[in-house]
Amino acid sequence: MNPPEVDRVAASRAAVAARQARAAVKRAVTERRLSAVAVLETALGSTESIEATMRVRDLLMAIPGLGPVRIDRVMGTLGIAATKRLSGLGVHQQVRLREYLQRRAPKVAATGDSRLVVLAGPTAVGKGTVSTYIRENFPEVHLSVSATTRAPRPGEVEGVSYYFVSDEEFDRMIEAGEFLEWAVVHNKSRYGTPRTPIDRALAAGTSVLLEIDIQGARQVKAAEPSATLVFLLPPTWDELVRRLIGRGTETPEEQERRLTTAKVELAAQSEFDFRVVNSDVQAAAAEVVELMQIQKATDLPSKE
Ligand SMILES: Nc1nc2c(ncn2[C@@H]2O[C@H](COP(=O)(O)OP(=O)(O)O)[C@@H](O)[C@H]2O)c(=O)[nH]1
Ligand SMILES: Nc1ncnc2c1ncn2[C@@H]1O[C@H](COP(=O)(O)OP(=O)(O)O)[C@@H](O)[C@H]1O
């Protein structure tokens, strides 16, 4: 084959793969394993996502109970042209479509099976930012509060950010078996996940999110194989460096050290069940919450 032909074959293979991935997303919406709102948020969060290339009409077609005639009428009311793709929506169209989906589209099917989900990832990728967004916007999720031996920073609240405990108290908690997992993080302080609030929340049917480091994620999986591990990724390495420096909470030496650790941590991503790219906080949070609600996502396209 000559080069233009090679290009053509590659392009047509990519088109087939994209069509299959779009069909998998549609199927997941129809089967109520994925909410239509989450598809919209992912599309708006990343123009490179498969979701961004979906037509609005196809997303609506995936919603059980909506037929072609009704969809034409709805799209007319929303002021969206028949061929429009999710990535091409104007700001007002986005708002109108989101409101419509929130009202009309069924929520993902309840599994009757509350989930333990671990969010981990390299330093400064945005774990704290995404989990704070979830705490503030998704009250149905129980966000675990860890105990730590590090000192509180300005603005941190006892019992909300962490339980700030002494070394002696932390020793006592280990002895008493109060932790689901614990670890020394950044070679400095100890952090641990109290077991009782998690057991209580799961027993009450509430899903639980742990924002902990990678050593902790491995321990949770060993203790609770049914736990779901989610790895938060930066859009690029340079963006991770920018976030770490931009946050301005570490000295240049500490930043260097954390970036060296981050390379090792990034290599652990294949141990995780799902990967979510944190390009946009709202979209990343929506994806994490979605993963807390679906029972089986094996035939969804990868979240990479
Ligand atoms: N293993 C484990 N890690 C934790 C726990 N709580 C927080 N961490 C991790 O400890 C690290 C340091 O957190 P923090 O002191 O808040 O500082 P940050 O690095 O600025 O986010 C982060 O990677 C957290 O994910 C916990 O209970 N167990
Ligand atoms: N999606 C994002 N886009 C841009 N900046 C972000 C995003 N998510 C987080 N940040 C910023 O990156 C920095 C690190 O986030 P943080 O939540 O402290 O990371 P982590 O808890 O993983 O160490 C913070 O300054 C935060 O505001």
Contacts of 97 (CB under 8 A, 6+ apart): 40, 56, 78, 80, 89
Measure the CA–CA gap between 265 and 125, rounded to whole angstroms: 11
Q: Is 146 touching ligand 1 by the criterion CB < 6 Å?
A: yes
> Is the domain covering 116-293 a CATH 3.40.50.300 domain?
yes
Nearest CA to ligand 2 atom 16: 126
Q: Is 136 exposed, middle or buried (0-12, 13-18, 19+ CB in 10 A)?
A: exposed
Tell me what pLDDT residue 107 has.
60
Per domain, the residue ranges of the chain are: 3-104, 116-293
Q: 184-214 in b/e burial notation, b at 16+ Cβ within 10 A?
A: ebeeeebbbbbbeebeebbeeeebbbbbbbb
Q: Is the CB of 247 under 6 A from ligand 1?
A: no
What residue owns the CA closest to ligand 2's atom 14?
Answer: 124
Q: Which residues are annotated as a binding site for ATP?
A: 121-128
Q: Nearest-CA neighbor of 108 among 300, 278, 280?
A: 300
To test the pocket of ligand 1, the residue of 132, 173, 213 to mutate (highest count of ligand atoms within 8 Å of its CB) is: 213
Pick the atom of ligand 1 nearest to 216's CA: 1
Amino acid at 261: T
Contact 199, 243 (CB under 8 A): no
Residue 289 carries which side chain, given as an amino acid letter?
V
Q: Locate the ligand 2 atom nearest the alpha carbon of residue 125 and give its number.
A: 22
The predicted structure's pLDDT at residue 91: 93
Q: How remote is the C-alpha of 231 from its chain's centroid?
A: 8
Tens-place pLDDT, residues 14-50: 888 889 889 988 988 887 777 788 888 888 888 888 9
Question: What was the pLDDT predicted at 297?
Answer: 37
On the 0-12 / 13-18 / 19+ scale of CB atoms within 10 A, 284 is: buried
List the 228-233 sheet strands across, edge first.
142-143, 208-211, 116-120, 228-233, 274-277
The reply to whether 116-293 shares the fold of 3-104 is no
Q: Is 281 left (phi over 0), alpha (psi -120 to 50) or beta?
A: alpha
Convert 66-104 to b/e letters by CB count within 10 Å (16 or more is b): eeeeebeebbeebebeeebbbebbeeebbebbbebbeee
Asked if 108 and 31 touch (Cβ cutoff 8 Å), the reply is no
State the distance from the centre of ligand 2 to the C-alpha of 129, rounded, in angstroms.
6
Q: Atom 1 in ligand 1: which residue has the minimum CA distance? A: 216
Q: 179 alpha carbon to ligand 1 midpoint, in Å?
A: 15
Half-sphere exposure of 87 (CA within 13 A, CB side): 9
Reading the chain (304 residues) residue by residue, the pLDDT tens digits are 676 777 788 888 888 888 988 998 898 888 777 778 888 888 888 888 899 999 999 999 998 888 899 999 999 999 999 999 999 999 999 999 988 988 776 665 544 466 899 999 999 999 999 999 999 999 889 999 999 999 998 889 999 999 999 999 999 999 999 999 999 998 789 999 999 999 888 888 889 999 999 999 999 999 888 899 999 999 999 999 999 999 988 899 999 999 999 999 999 998 998 999 999 999 999 999 988 874 333 334 444 3
* pLDDT, position 65: 81
Binding site membership: which residues? 121-128
Q: What is the reported pLDDT for 108?
A: 59
pLDDT value of residue 109: 53
The SS3 of residue 73 is helix
CATH number at 3-104: 1.10.8.50
Ligand number nearest to the C-alpha of 247: 2
Q: Is the CB of 119 under 6 A from ligand 1?
A: no
Q: What is the pLDDT of residue 55?
A: 97
Q: Report the complex ipTM.
A: 0.96
Contact 36, 59 (CB under 8 A): yes
Q: Is 219 in the pocket of ligand 1 (CB under 6 A)?
A: no
Atom nearest to 278 CA in ligand 2: 1
